[in-house]
Structure 1
Amino acid sequence: MSKRRTGSRCRRAREFEAFVAGAAGRLLHTATLLTAETPQNNPYAQRLLAHALAHTYAGWDRLRGEDPYSRARDELAFRFEHGAWRRRRTRGGVLDRLTPRERTIVVLRLYEGVAEEQTAAMTGLPAERVRTHLHRAVAALCAPPPGAAGRERRPAPTKRTAEASG
């Protein structure tokens, strides 16, 4: 193996390490939101991130000016979209009330700031359907959780009210 090839591989590895050091935290948070796991217990999100980073590293030399973060994020969303049908149970994360498709759209549009047309292309949906899913998901997130509608919060009894009633 020539020194030139070895130097190129070392440079590639250093560039990728620098990318991972800067982007892995945000990408893990994105994966955690997608999987609806909690930040403290997110094994599926960690596996998704590992696969997305491995895929990004495999194509590192072919990026040619393309944003590696965008490539890794797109791979993360793609892997989630195509594997989510097997993992219906959520683990209590912030977006656990949403369907996998709605989570993908909410995370890409609102958290990552991906354009509607690009989100539509990534999910294979028309832009109008992306907009509909987004509105439905936001409405679901703004609504009270199921079972909370009939419960009213009453203030805890104070000493004065306890004495008056007893």
Structure 2
Amino acid sequence: MDKRDAGQQRCRAREFEAFVAGAAGRLLHVSTLLTAEPADANPRAQRLLVAALASAYARWEFLRGEDPYDRTRQELAARFARTSWHHRRRRGGLLAALTPQERLVLVLRMYEGVPEEQTAALLGLPVQRVRAICARAVSHVDELRRAPAPPSRAAVAS
């Protein structure tokens, strides 16, 4: 490796480190929402994010004007979709009650603001299907939010 290649490698590494410093927190939150794990105990979400970031680093020099956040989010969503059978109902709030597909569509559409058409293309689904899944997920979450809270353990014990 000559000096020029070494310099390019260092520059690439610095650019990627800057990207990770700015985007990792939000991407971890997205990953945590997808896996429906608690924010303070999210090993699957962390593994999902590390794999997506590793893939992004491997393709970093080939992005050529593409948005690295968007590409990494796409990779994160694709990896989640491929491994969603691992992410069945987990303790993690309202989203844990949704199916993995509902969580994926809801997080992409509502939290990340990805348009229906892009979400459909990413998941290989018709736009109408994405719209229906999102509507069902929003309705389900809304029902859960309105439901009365279960009694506390102290109230049950007395």
Give the TM-score of the pair, scaled to structure 2: 0.90
* 1:148, distance to aligned residue in structure 2 (A): 4.7
1:103 counterpart = 2:107: no
- Please give the alpha-carbon distance, in whole angstroms, between the structure 2 residues aligned to 1:101 and 1:138: 13
**Contact 2:38–2:92 (Cα < 8 Å) also in 1:** yes
Which stretches in structure 1 are left out of the alignment for 5+ residues?
153-166
Residue of structure 2 in register with 1:21 after alignment: 21
What residue number does 2:142 align with? Answer: 142
Identical amino acids, percent of aligned pairs: 60
CA deviations on 1:112-165 (whole Å, 9 max, x unpaired) are 0101000001111100000000000001001137x859x89xxxxxxxxxxxxx
- Structure 1 runs of 4+ with >2 Å offset: 91-94
User: Where do 5+ consecutive residues of structure 2 fail to align?
Assistant: 152-158
Which position in structure 1 is the counterpart of 2:66?
Answer: 66
Partner amino acid for 1:82? R
Counterparts of 1:108 and 1:22, CA distance in 2:
19
| 1:104-119 superposed matches below 5 A | 104-119=104-119
Instruction: Please report the TM-score for the alignment, with normalisation by the length of structure 1.
Output: 0.86
- Cα pair 1:33 1:93 within 8 Å, conserved: no
Cα shift readout 1:51-107 (whole Å, capped 9, x = no counterpart): 000000000010000000001000000000000123324123341010000000000
What SS does the aligned partner of 1:95 have? helix
The count of aligned residue pairs is: 151
Q: Find the aligned partners of 2:72 and 2:115 in 1 and give their Cα distance.
A: 16
1:33–1:94 contact (8 Å) kept in structure 2? no
Structure in which a larger fraction of residues adopt helix: 2
